[in-house]
Chains A and B, each alone.
Chain A
Amino acid sequence: MEINPSEAQVEVAGLKIRYFRGGSGPVAIKLHHSTGNPGWMASDDALAEKFDLIVPDLPGYNQSDRPVWARSIRDISILMKRFIEELGLENVTLIGCGLGGWVAAELATMSDAELSNLVISGAPGIKPNEGFIEDQIMMDWEEYVQLGFSSGDNYLNAYGEDAAEVYKELWDYSREMTARLTWKPWMYNKSLEPLLQLVNIPSLVIWGADDRITPLICGEQYSAALPNSSLQVIENAGHCVEHEQTSKFVELVSEFVGD
């Protein structure tokens, strides 16, 4: 079902944060990848059938103001926590995909007062015990987005034969914000993993079996570190599980929240 989301903005720490909102059900917030918020996607339609879904542009991405002082993902998590408070939300299911999952995990370690559930998918933020998190700085940004899918067809399904200029602009622009927030070390924070034990709410860790961006071992580490969590590995999916296996992704999240 195609949902027609509303678009609104809220101010946090003097910064405009833009968000889409659509659907009905329990409140869920979905945080986007490092490549920016491409807008209301098909996967958002599917989630909005089960949830009152809010999809914000993280601060510094797309239409949300850039916090020029921000130097870490944790800074973004603080702003997003205040975003949730500003909207007066409670019992939020917080869903984070890719870099958005890192933001969500950091946020949950601060306080889970407004949260009921945590879902993270393909999230960096933890230093993998083996291998490393793929470095988008060392490749063309379009190539990087393609690497986020387990197959070329799935990438084409999401973005088309020749990704629209507006997406390419977004990816290019998003890279700049990402490089402001994480660089050395690239895509992890050594102080996150030991703090995850503080998260009291149930959490679901979803990983694409073919994730070529954030290795599966990061999902295992997240699951081991979060006290009340389970790991679900999805076949035929890469880093962008929500785009590649949308119905499976939504089904897992719905079942998890329903429980």
Chain B
Amino acid sequence: MFVGYFTERPYQDKSSGYFGATGRDLTDLSMSNRDYDPKLGADLYNRYLDEKVFAEEMGFDGLMLNEHHSTPFCMGGVMNVEASILARITQRAKIVLLGNVLPIWEDPLWLAEELAEIDMISRGRLVTGWVRGTGRESVAHNAQPPFNWERFQEAHDLVVKAWSQPGPFRWESDHYQFRYVNPWSRPYQSPHPPIWIPGVMSRNTVKWAAEHRYPYVMLATELGPTVESFKYYEECAREAGYESGTQHRGYLWKVHVDETEELAEATARKYIQGPSNPFLEGNQGNVRSFIQNLPGLTSRTNLLPTSQVASAARARGKTDQLKDAAKSDMRGTFEEQSDKMGIVYGTPKTVIPKIRHVLETLRPGSIIFWDGDGAMDHDDAMRSLRLFGSDVLPAVREMGKELELDSPFDVDDEIPAGYSPEVVAAAKAAEARAAAQADAAGA
């Protein structure tokens, strides 16, 4: 089992009104950065990096970062900078990027170079992950949404080829053209860093991930629909000619551990205070559905079961399609989210059985605990991390063994999770050619 740690790195400014319910408008893509305080930004970036280092000390296997743009709920607009620093100041943990927003890159070759550098500086600890992004990202970097999925796939193909095949070569696809692909850097891992695909609802993406044998990491989706999505991955894998396993399933959700039940509850309530992600349940921000639902961004006929869930539907501007969604479901109160295990909190003693329930239900080989978010401060995050390290992680590892929840790093598949069969075959052929050449030279 692989266990990661994540926080969305919210911009927490107690004086601006973006921190909590102080009456100021918190509407997606309508807040001016005139209120942005770089000195506070400096403190927060350093705080979040410090917490990541401590998470490694406490025994987490992975430090996850994510990327959003033009929004206070996530300071990871340039996640690769944070990842570069972690590559240098951490020692052991994987650096898990879930993920870079491929379609908004005009020059994905530049991304290939950045990620290769991160992989080298970390000496092979990068787990790379790619997303299509929300409408917010397409607006913020002005990428044409009807071509989002095409650009995602083309950028992926280009980066993987640039990583795994010798240059120079020419690249001509519908949306990207390069006359000279030959970056003077290559990833430390061969044939490339493992690729994981995070997501919530696109059937296209699940099918595509399964076909490429990339683990699919469901992001804070409800348990029932998550099971359904994993089943769909399994079906797609079978169609692609292999049996998927726990190594192909990842799950991220909110878990906060604290010293007492009372403190745990009071702190966990902060998940939904402040500039927590506006398109998640129970937050204090207002979503503008037309921005989430940019024209052509999501295929209108291809929606996973999670799309039936109110919060996801709200994100995509599809509230009209919901039949029985009560208003309380749309806002997802703290209690409701807690009942559904979307937010798990307590002392180690009470948290561990809840985690077990999630593991038994979903059987993921990789899990990522989402903590220290919303209005939680550094002390809140550190208390939880300490208890994760001393009590929760050892118990979770035992559960992982008992339930046989293998991560991509635990199994010895012929084609490991995280790699496409074609790329693995090409890498093996190249290895064989090199060996033959060496033999010939030796003879």
Interface presence of A184 (CB below 8 A): yes
Interface presence of B333 (CB below 8 A): no
**Total interface residues on B, using CB and 8 Å?**
14
Taking CB atoms and an 8 Å cut-off, the chain B residues in 261-300 that contact chain A are 288-291, 294-296
Residue pair B139, A179 in contact (C-beta under 8 Å): no
Interface presence of B173 (CB below 8 A): no
- Complex Cα distance, B290 from A178, in Å, reads 15
Residue pair A179, B291 in contact (C-beta under 8 Å): no
Residue pair A184, B142 in contact (C-beta under 8 Å): yes
Residue ID in chain A nearest B146 by CB atoms:
A180
Residue ID in chain A nearest B317 by CB atoms:
A140
Which range contains the number of A residues in contact with the other chain?
Answer: 10 to 19
For A16, list chain B residues within 8 Å (CB): none
Interface presence of A112 (CB below 8 A): no
- Complex Cα distance, B145 from A176, in Å, reads 8
For A141, list chain B residues within 8 Å (CB): 290
Number of A-B contacts (CB under 8 A): 33
Residue pair B290, A179 in contact (C-beta under 8 Å): no
For A176, list chain B residues within 8 Å (CB): 146, 295-296
Binary flags per residue of A208-230, CB closer than 8 Å to B gives 1, else 0? 00000000000000000000000
Residue ID in chain A nearest B144 by CB atoms:
A183
Question: Interface on B for A, CB 8 Å cutoff?
Answer: 29, 139, 142, 144-147, 288-291, 294-296
Of B29, B144, B288, B289, the residue contacting A179 (CB under 8 A) is B144
**Beyond A137-B294, A179-B144, 8 extra complex contacts between A and B, CB < 8 Å:** A138-B290, A140-B289, A140-B290, A175-B295, A176-B146, A179-B145, A180-B296, A184-B144
Residue pair A179, B142 in contact (C-beta under 8 Å): no
- Complex Cα distance, B288 from A178, in Å, reads 20
Interface presence of A139 (CB below 8 A): yes
Given contacts A172-B295, A176-B295, contact A137 B139 (CB under 8 A): yes
A247 to chain B, nearest CB (A): 34
Q: Give me 5 A-to-B residue pairs in the complex whose CB atoms sit less than 8 angstroms apart, sorted by A's number.
A: A137-B295, A141-B290, A175-B296, A179-B145, A180-B147
Taking CB atoms and an 8 Å cut-off, the chain A residues in 162-188 that contact chain B are 172, 175-176, 178-180, 183-184
Taking CB atoms and an 8 Å cut-off, the chain A residues in 119-143 that contact chain B are 137-141
- Complex Cα distance, B300 from A172, in Å, reads 11
B85 to chain A, nearest CB (A): 32
- Complex Cα distance, B144 from A175, in Å, reads 12
- Complex Cα distance, B29 from A137, in Å, reads 12
A139 to chain B, nearest CB (A): 6
For B29, list chain A residues within 8 Å (CB): 138
Residue pair A178, B142 in contact (C-beta under 8 Å): no
For A172, list chain B residues within 8 Å (CB): 295
For A178, list chain B residues within 8 Å (CB): 295
- Complex Cα distance, B148 from A176, in Å, reads 12
B371 to chain A, nearest CB (A): 34
- Complex Cα distance, B29 from A178, in Å, reads 22
What 7 pairs across the A-B complex have the smallest Cβ distances? A175-B295, A176-B295, A176-B296, A183-B144, A179-B295, A140-B290, A180-B146
Residue ID in chain A nearest B291 by CB atoms:
A138
For B296, list chain A residues within 8 Å (CB): 175-176, 179-180
For A183, list chain B residues within 8 Å (CB): 142, 144
Of A138, A139, A180, the residue contacting B144 (CB under 8 A) is A180
For B288, list chain A residues within 8 Å (CB): 140
For A139, list chain B residues within 8 Å (CB): 290
- Complex Cα distance, B361 from A47, in Å, reads 65
For B295, list chain A residues within 8 Å (CB): 137, 172, 175-176, 178-179
- Complex Cα distance, B257 from A61, in Å, reads 54
For B144, list chain A residues within 8 Å (CB): 179-180, 183-184
- Complex Cα distance, B294 from A175, in Å, reads 9
For A184, list chain B residues within 8 Å (CB): 142, 144
A66 to chain B, nearest CB (A): 10
Residue ID in chain A nearest B290 by CB atoms:
A140
For B142, list chain A residues within 8 Å (CB): 183-184
- Complex Cα distance, B289 from A141, in Å, reads 11
- Complex Cα distance, B29 from A151, in Å, reads 27
- Complex Cα distance, B142 from A172, in Å, reads 19
Of A138, A140, A175, A180, the residue contacting B139 (CB under 8 A) is A138
Taking CB atoms and an 8 Å cut-off, the chain A residues in 34-81 that contact chain B are none
B221 to chain A, nearest CB (A): 25
- Complex Cα distance, B292 from A137, in Å, reads 11
- Complex Cα distance, B142 from A120, in Å, reads 29
- Complex Cα distance, B289 from A179, in Å, reads 17
- Complex Cα distance, B295 from A175, in Å, reads 6
- Complex Cα distance, B155 from A193, in Å, reads 34
For A140, list chain B residues within 8 Å (CB): 288-290
B322 to chain A, nearest CB (A): 16
Residue ID in chain A nearest B289 by CB atoms:
A140
Taking CB atoms and an 8 Å cut-off, the chain A residues in 186-212 that contact chain B are none
- Complex Cα distance, B298 from A175, in Å, reads 13
Residue ID in chain A nearest B293 by CB atoms:
A172
Residue ID in chain A nearest B135 by CB atoms:
A137
- Complex Cα distance, B317 from A172, in Å, reads 11
- Complex Cα distance, B139 from A229, in Å, reads 37
For B291, list chain A residues within 8 Å (CB): 138
Most buried by A among B147, B291, B295: B295
For A179, list chain B residues within 8 Å (CB): 144-146, 294-296
